Structure 1
Amino acid sequence: MSELIENIEDVLRFPLPVDEEFVIKKHRIEPSGENIGKRICIVTGIHGDELEGQYVCYEIARRIRRDSLSLKGIVDIYPGMNPFGIDSITRGIPAFDLDMNRIFPGNFDGDMNEFTASMIVKELEGADLVIDIHASNIFLTEIPQIRINEKSEKELVPIAKKANMDLIWVHGASTVLESTLAYSLNSRGTNTLVVEMGVGMRITPDYGEQLTDGIISIMSELGIWEGEVPKTKEAIVAYDADGDDVCYLNAPCSGIYMKEKEHGAIVRSGESVGKIIDPLSGDVLADIKAPENGMIFTVREYPVVEEGSLMGRILREKVLNGES
C-alpha cells in the first residue's frame, strides 16, 4: 500500500538584520514505495495582495490526502513566493517598492531581490508544469482565466483547456513582459500557465474550487493522478494580438462608478452597464454603455474612478459564437 511522503522544505533562507530571516518554503507531496513520476508546481503569492491562490494550495493538499493512493508523481506547493509582501499586504516587495514579477529571471550575483528571483527560477525549472496563480488588484475582479503569450500558444493552449477555466486569453508578444516568472520559465522550456481570477485582498472559494478541479484534471493528463477526475468545462479562447476579440470600458470622466452588471453578464450594444455619479451634486455624469454585443469578464469593484480608469472588459459576441 502506497503512503504519502510530505515535507515542508526551505526553498530559500538567509538572515536579515535584527534577528530576522527571509524564508520561502514549499510543501512537497509525493508517493512512497514506487517510481516517482512527473512533477507539477503550484505557485502563488508573488504579489502579496493577491490571495486567491492561498485557498487553492490548501485544497490541493486536502484532496490529495483524501485519496492518497491516486498520487503517482510529485506535487510541489509554494503558497508564499513573496513572504514579506503577504505579511505586509502589499503587492510588491516592501521597502524596495519593487514588483517581484518584474525582476525575473533574476541574477545569482545581484542584490537580495535579484538573487531571490534567480533561485526561484532554478527551483521551478525542469518541472513538467508550473501553474502561477494570481488575482486581480483591489480595483477589478476577473472571471477565472488563463493568460498565455502567443509565443507559447502551441504548447500551452491544449494544457490550459483542461484547467476548467472560463477563458483562455492569448496575448500578443508585445504586450507580455519578459521579466515575469512565466515568461522566464516558458523561454527555458518549462511549461507555465498564468491564472488570473477574483479580486485583490480577498478569497473567492468558488473560484478556488473551480481551479482545483482543473488542476486535478491536468494532473490526470500528466499521469500524476490516477483517481477520480472532476467534470470540467472547456474555456472560451480569445486572442488579443490585434485587439479584435476584446473591447475595453474606460471612464470618460472622474466620479463614483456604480456597476449594473456582474461577471458573465451578456450585454447588447448600447445597453447600460453602469453609471458614473457625482455624490456632491447628485448628478449622473456618464451612462456607461456596452460598445458591442458580448460578455463582461472584467468588472470594476473599486468605485472611485478617474478619467481613463478601466471599468471593465467585454468579450465580443463573435468569440462566444466560436468565430474568433
Structure 2
Amino acid sequence: MTTTLGTASAGPGEIDTGRLEIGETRDGSPFGLPVAVVNGERAGKTLYVQAASDGDELNGVGVVQRVVPQLDPAEISGTILVVGIVNYHAFQVAEHRNPIDDTKMNRAYPGNEGGTSSERIAAATFDAATRADLILDLHQGSTSRMLNEVRVRCGKRHRLHDQCLELAKAFGCGYVLDQKGPDGQLARAAPDEGTPTVDPELGGAVGWDEESIRIGVEGVFNVLRYYNFLEGDQPLEPQTRARGFEQYGAPAGGLVTLHKELGDRVRPGETLFEVTTPFGEPKAEVTADGDGILWRTRRLPQVATGEYVCSVGTDIGEY
C-alpha cells in the first residue's frame, strides 16, 4: 500500500522525500517541512521520527541526515515516517523558539490547525506522528552540557508508561530520565492517543556534536532492530534511570569550576563546584544535598548570583 506524508509518496519497497506544507511566510510564499517516507517491502509497524522542534537543537537533524540514506526499503518490514525539521522558522535563524509567535514548539502539542504558527505546525506533525505505532522525538540540551539520555515524559501512572520505558531502553543511550513532562510536549501528548513516545536528548550545548549524533544514529537502528523493522537480534541493555532532578545555582557571582564530570556519581556533602573571582580567589563552594549523578551543567563558566550552574539526577536505579 502506498504511504504518503505531505508531498512524499512511496509504495512498498520505495523511499521518497518531499514537503509537508503548513502555511505561508511573511512575504506570502508557502513553506513546508522536509519529510521522508520509507516504505518497506514487507508489512510491519510504523515508526515516526522528528527533529528540531526546538530550532537550535541540531543533533537530531544530524541523526536524520545520516539515518535516512542508510535505509534500504528492500530490507525493511513496515514504514518509517520522518520530519527532518519541525520548527521551520526557528531553524532558519538558529533560534530555540519560533520567532513568528515567540513559542517553544515542544509546548504546543497536540496543536491547533487553525491556531498560531507553532500550533499549526504542531497539529500537522501530531497528525503524522499519531499515525505511527512508535514515536522518536529527537532533542538535545540546547544551551547546556548534558548526558546523552532518553526522556520518558508520560508519567509513571500513565497506561503506556511501561511501553514508553521499553522504547527508551531499546534506544539504548545508557541513561533515562523517567519524569512526567510539561503539558504540550509531544512525548506527553502522543501517549494519550495510544502511541508510545520518547524524547531522546542527544547531548547538550548549541552546535553539532558528532559523538551525540553517532549515539543517536545507533539508537534509531537499535529501535529498528528491536521492533523488527530490520532483521537482527537487538537485546535490551540495562539503563541507568533517574526519576528527578536537583538544580543548583550560584550563591555568588564569578567564575565556576566544576569538581565533577558529567555522569559522575555524587554523594551527599561532596563538592559540586566552586565560584572564584577572575583572579582565582575563592568566593563560594557548593556541595551536593544527596545521592545522584551529575546530569547537566552550564556551558560557560561566568555566573551571576543565583544563576543556574548544574543539575543532579536523583532517585537513581537500573532497569
Which TM-score applies when normalising by structure 1? 0.84
Alignment of 1:126-205 (within 5 A): 126-150=131-155, 151=158, 152-172=160-180, 176-205=181-210
Q: How far, CA to CA, are the matches of 2:194 and 2:114 in structure 1?
A: 23
Q: How far, CA to CA, are the matches of 2:232 and 2:12 in structure 1?
A: 15
User: Secondary structure at 2:50's aligned position in 1?
Assistant: strand
Partner of 1:233: 237
Partner of 1:307: 305
Q: How far, CA to CA, are the matches of 1:107 and 1:263 in structure 2?
A: 39
Partner of 2:5: none
Query: CA contact under 8 A between 2:295 and 2:311: conserved in structure 1?
Result: yes
Instruction: Report the CA distance shift for 1:292/1:180 in structure 2 as closer, same or farther (over 3 A).
Output: closer
Residues 117-136 of structure 1: CA distance to partner in whole angstroms, max 9, x if unpaired? 21121121120111001111
Query: For this pair of structures, how many residues does the alignment match?
Result: 306
Q: CA deviation at 1:164?
A: 0.9
Q: Which amino acid aligns with 1:214?
A: G
Instruction: Report the CA distance shift for 1:79/1:105 in structure 2 as closer, same or farther (over 3 A).
Output: same
Partner of 2:7: none
From 26, 40, 43, the counterpart of 1:36: 43
User: Secondary structure at 1:162's aligned position in 2?
Assistant: helix
Segments of 4+ moved more than 6 angstroms? none
Partner of 1:24: 33
Q: How far, CA to CA, are the matches of 1:288 and 1:145 in structure 2?
A: 28
> RMSD over aligned Cα, in angstroms?
2.6
Instruction: Report the CA distance shift for 1:268/1:117 in structure 2 as closer, same or farther (over 3 A).
Output: closer
Query: CA contact under 8 A between 1:168 and 1:236: conserved in structure 2?
Result: yes
Q: Which amino acid aligns with 1:162?
A: A
Aligned: 1:265 with 2:270 = no
Q: How far, CA to CA, are the matches of 1:63 and 1:277 in structure 2?
A: 49
Query: CA contact under 8 A between 2:296 and 2:310: conserved in structure 1?
Result: yes
Q: CA deviation at 1:109?
A: 2.5
Q: How far, CA to CA, are the matches of 2:50 and 2:174 in structure 1?
A: 20
Query: CA contact under 8 A between 2:202 and 2:216: conserved in structure 1?
Result: no
Aligned: 1:248 with 2:247 = yes
Instruction: Report the CA distance shift for 1:215/1:110 in structure 2 as closer, same or farther (over 3 A).
Output: same
User: Secondary structure at 1:119's aligned position in 2?
Assistant: helix
Query: CA contact under 8 A between 2:100 and 2:117: conserved in structure 1?
Result: no
Q: How far, CA to CA, are the matches of 1:180 and 1:155 in structure 2?
A: 18
Identity across matched positions, percent: 20
Residues 31-57 of structure 1: CA distance to partner in whole angstroms, max 9, x if unpaired? 3xx443211111111001111101211
Q: CA deviation at 1:13?
A: 4.2
Query: CA contact under 8 A between 1:11 and 1:123: conserved in structure 2?
Result: no
From 123, 127, 135, the counterpart of 1:122: 127
Q: CA deviation at 1:158?
A: 1.7
Deviates more, 1:17-26 or 1:76-85: 17-26
Partner of 1:243: none
Instruction: Report the CA distance shift for 1:15/1:247 in structure 2 as closer, same or farther (over 3 A).
Output: closer
Partner of 1:57: 64
Q: How far, CA to CA, are the matches of 1:292 and 1:14 in structure 2?
A: 49
Residues 190-224 of structure 1: CA distance to partner in whole angstroms, max 9, x if unpaired? 22111113123222222222232222222223221
Residues 59-103 of structure 1: CA distance to partner in whole angstroms, max 9, x if unpaired? 2223324xx543112112222001111110111111321111222
User: Secondary structure at 1:291's aligned position in 2?
Assistant: coil
Q: CA deviation at 1:228?
A: 6.7
